Structure 1
Amino acid sequence: MTYRRRIVDDLLDELFPHLAAISLEGAKGVGKTATASQRATTVLDLAEPGLRLSIAANWGYVAEVPPPVLIDEWQLEPSVWDRVRQAVDEDSTGGRFLLAGSAGVAPGVRIHSGAGRIVSLPMRPLSFAERGVGDPSISLRALLNGERPSISGASEVKLPHYVDEILRSGFPGIRELPERARGMQLDGYLARIVERELPENGVTVRRPAALREWLAAYGAATATDASYSRILDAATPGESDKPSRQTVSGYREHLTRIFVLDPIPAWIPSFSPLNRLTHSPKHHLVDPALAARLVGVSKDALLRGEGGGLIARPDTNTWLGALFESLVAQSVRVYAQACEAQVGHLRTRDNTREIDLIVEASDRRLIAIEIKLSGSVSDKDVRHLNWLREKLGDRVIERVVLHAGPYAYRRPDGVAVIPLALLAP
């Protein structure tokens, strides 16, 4: 398969010549190994038991082979991390080690943090711009830099195409498969999480079916900040023998640690007149295709407004709207990382104000983003964006509505209305 260049490749090209060790971190299947392999002379795959035993018995081996060295699935032999850290202490020349892993080490296994020696670089599934769908032309970086780029153009990508992309997923090895094979692969991916990934990371799953139901309820809560007790109730309707909160909290912690859950944190600004903001994260799986598969919904059903019935929506949006928001959030987080920006969401505790995404640069300037299925944007749709601009002034460098319609334009009030397919890094 021909390698498709990723946005993170630009970051690696910029950073790796100057940094001795970089750890690519993300869920299984996002493409870490393929990306790291593009710049490795030696590849050590620790999923091979014989190699793993050999390296465990030879402390110095990883520093003796020709660099750059890719150490894949490093967490299966955690001592490798400490060996790389020590090697960097001995020689901090750039471009020596790439580590790839889909999980942290098992509970109870201690390693040094690697701070100052090993830089972590998150990697997510393919963003929309990386999928080769449409022709993105409006740069998030330009928006964040305050360049006020022209907001114009039209996209041929329509709502059914976005639904296709939600269901195909952003996992490079899954999305190109025929529909039935793709569904089986997604089912296998989810089964592996429950049956292998968590146990391999020291988590005892006594009731796999209950965990699967909890994951389905979490998927149904996509793009909400529903309480975890509400998600548990939705996963176990009418059951008196529910998993304990401690058990579910443990599952949630480990599913986040292996990057299956990818919640968006609440944006809590510093030095700001805003107060009484919620601290609850917004729920997202690493890919909305997993949420759709867990709940069990087809393209036609999504277009009819069905699905996601385990969690009642707090507003009039359909569950397709929630999955589209998750697709947008996945992409925006990839673009924001390339700009050294952070992504959060804003909601007031009384639920009177909500903004889907806040992209904040290191200098505290920010873009406020609302997400809509429809390309028709009214004054009501942008009222929270304009409220935030009134509160924070020029710190809000851009107000944006990302949507699934065809046209890009700037409203008279300055809000940029942009189809997701036209948004570039």
Structure 2
Amino acid sequence: MTDYLQRLIDPVMTELVADLPAIMVVGPRACGKTTTARQFSRTIFELSVPATAEAFNTDPDAILRGSAEPILIDEWQEVPTVLGAVKRSVDADAGEGRFLLTGSVNARLTSQTWAGTGRVVPVHATPMSERELEGKQHHSSFIDVIAREGAGALQAPSTSLDLRDYLERAIRGGFPEPALRYRRRARERWYGGYWDQIYSRDAVSGNSDRDPDRVRRFVHAFALNSGSTVELLKLAQAAELSRNTAQDYEQLLKNLFLVETIPAWTQRRLKRLAKAPKRLITDSGLLAAALNLDMDTIVRDGKLVGQVLETFVIAQWRAELEASELSPRLYHLRQQQGRHEVDLIVELPGDRIIAVEIKADSAPNRKAAYHLEWLASEIGDRFEAGVVLHTGPHAFPLGDKIHAVPISALWQ
């Protein structure tokens, strides 16, 4: 495809296809999994096509045996028995670059007999980051750059953005179709239809006890508290659900990669750290759509500005995880009673830490680094770098190993 935009996971895919027999690309619906997998395939079977599905129901082993590899099996869950055929083929010949699978991760997680364990390796795809949308994905992961050179290596762009510019990008979101093809009104319809699909089809698929209206209420309550450490019981109460029902709905949305819980970072040397996870909608466009937010609504409410901006910025870091050579993990930090709080903790090998604060502030001062300085003093040499990401135009130091950097420096 001549118009294919390179993705951050492409180098990872290239390496894994060269080494492994079978890969499954997982991520939210419509984030570009199939488009990416196509770039690495010679034969493509779309099991959402009834005739193709019928053929695979008849004799999947024979079809796979006679096809040029790598073979992409799209929407594999339409014929679950195809996994058995992949397993048998890999068991007979574990050569590299044989199969790629895309489809419903929910089906994989709810299957009682998943045949892929130890044979099909997952690769996580996300909605597109700004670095991908801007065509800057050929650079090293900015996580690796910070770990290698410090936060000062992130440079302010020549063209600066302001808060409204960032919020416009956040509302647009990272799903390829609305981000690359549609103007505002069409994007709003696309996101609305996406959520309707979740409520009416995905939520009840395989579980007739789920009620679409109750799932919608839960998503609304979750979105209102996105970016916070709200307890699940409070979300359940806000949505008028039992705790068990809320837990089921949250797991469903996690399986669909629409929400996540960022775990609390804990260390024995640091006292009174809260253990509650931070709950987050995974895409800022989805967040805006779930709450029916437009620009005017957001800018009138400081809490919404913070929620949307944090969701947008964390999505940029999440997209870098697979691309990084350091296998980073994301956490947040909050002391009980909120005395100290850090928006994002990026844990690197050797227990090294990059700490990130996200500020809707065009000119942050030393106070913006208060929690980062505290953390640096507590963990010493393990503190690799501190970054205050802000909405202003300039990059400048705020302290030892701590820099204020425009958010847009993440995709330069």
- Greater per-residue helix proportion: 2
Corresponding residue for residue 46 of structure 1: 47
Q: May I ask how many residue pairs the two structures share in their alignment?
A: 405
Distance 1:332 1:383 in 2: 22
Corresponding residue for residue 410 of structure 2: 423
- Contact 1:151–1:417 (CA under 8 A) maintained in structure 2: no
Quick one: which of 309, 312, 316 aligns to 1:324? 309
> What are structure 1's unaligned runs of at least 5 residues?
236-241, 306-316
Q: Deviations over 1:303-358 (max 9, x none)?
A: 222xxxxxxxxxxx521111110111111011133112111111123322211111
Report whether the alignment pairs 1:209 with 2:213: yes
Amino acid at match of 1:232: A
Secondary structure at 2:261 match in 1: coil
Corresponding residue for residue 204 of structure 2: 199
Corresponding residue for residue 153 of structure 1: 156
Amino acid at match of 2:282: V
Distance 2:200 2:127 in 1: 22
Q: Deviations over 1:241-277 (max 9, x none)?
A: x3322222111111111212123222235xx412443
The equivalences for 1:371-410 within 5 A come to: 371-410=358-397
TM-score (norm 2): 0.91
Corresponding residue for residue 139 of structure 1: 142
Corresponding residue for residue 337 of structure 2: 350
- Contact 2:356–2:387 (CA under 8 A) maintained in structure 1: yes
- Contact 1:198–1:205 (CA under 8 A) maintained in structure 2: no
Corresponding residue for residue 264 of structure 2: 266
Corresponding residue for residue 277 of structure 1: 273
Amino acid at match of 1:406: P
Amino acid at match of 1:25: V
Distance 2:154 2:110 in 1: 52
Quick one: which of 155, 165, 171 aligns to 2:169? 165
Distance 2:88 2:7 in 1: 30
The equivalences for 1:16-415 within 5 A come to: 16-60=17-61, 61-105=63-107, 109-112=111-114, 114-132=116-134, 139-146=142-149, 149-154=152-157, 155-175=159-179, 176-200=181-205, 202-204=206-208, 206-235=210-239, 242-269=240-267, 272-305=268-301, 317-339=302-324, 340-415=327-402
- Contact 2:229–2:278 (CA under 8 A) maintained in structure 1: yes
Amino acid at match of 1:26: G
Amino acid at match of 1:198: A
Amino acid at match of 1:404: T
Distance 2:115 2:336 in 1: 35
Amino acid at match of 2:361: S
Change (3 A) 1:286 1:50: farther
- Contact 1:45–1:71 (CA under 8 A) maintained in structure 2: yes
Amino acid at match of 1:332: W
Is 244-253 or 121-130 further displaced after alignment?
Answer: 244-253
Change (3 A) 1:299 1:25: same
Shift of 1:424: 4.2
Distance 1:292 1:260 in 2: 13
Please give the root-mean-square deviation of Cα atoms over the aligned residues, in Å.
2.4
Is 226-235 or 136-145 further displaced after alignment?
Answer: 136-145
Change (3 A) 1:293 1:409: same
Secondary structure at 1:407 match in 2: coil
Q: Deviations over 1:33-64 (max 9, x none)?
A: 10011111111112123322321221413343
Distance 1:133 1:107 in 2: 33
Is 20-29 or 362-371 further displaced after alignment?
Answer: 362-371
- Contact 1:78–1:111 (CA under 8 A) maintained in structure 2: no
- Contact 1:336–1:359 (CA under 8 A) maintained in structure 2: no
Shift of 1:132: 1.4
Q: Deviations over 1:197-239 (max 9, x none)?
A: 1222x1225532222121111111111111122223333xxxx
> What are structure 2's unaligned runs of at least 5 residues?
none
Distance 1:177 1:96 in 2: 36
Distance 2:338 2:190 in 1: 39
Change (3 A) 1:205 1:163: farther
Distance 1:263 1:177 in 2: 30
- Contact 1:194–1:205 (CA under 8 A) maintained in structure 2: no
Distance 2:409 2:311 in 1: 17
Q: Deviations over 1:141-164 (max 9, x none)?
A: 111235565344344222211111
Is 377-386 or 392-401 further displaced after alignment?
Answer: 377-386
Shift of 1:279: 2.7
- Contact 1:368–1:385 (CA under 8 A) maintained in structure 2: yes
Distance 1:133 1:225 in 2: 34
Change (3 A) 1:85 1:416: farther
- Contact 1:410–1:416 (CA under 8 A) maintained in structure 2: yes
Q: What is the aligned-residue identity percentage?
A: 31
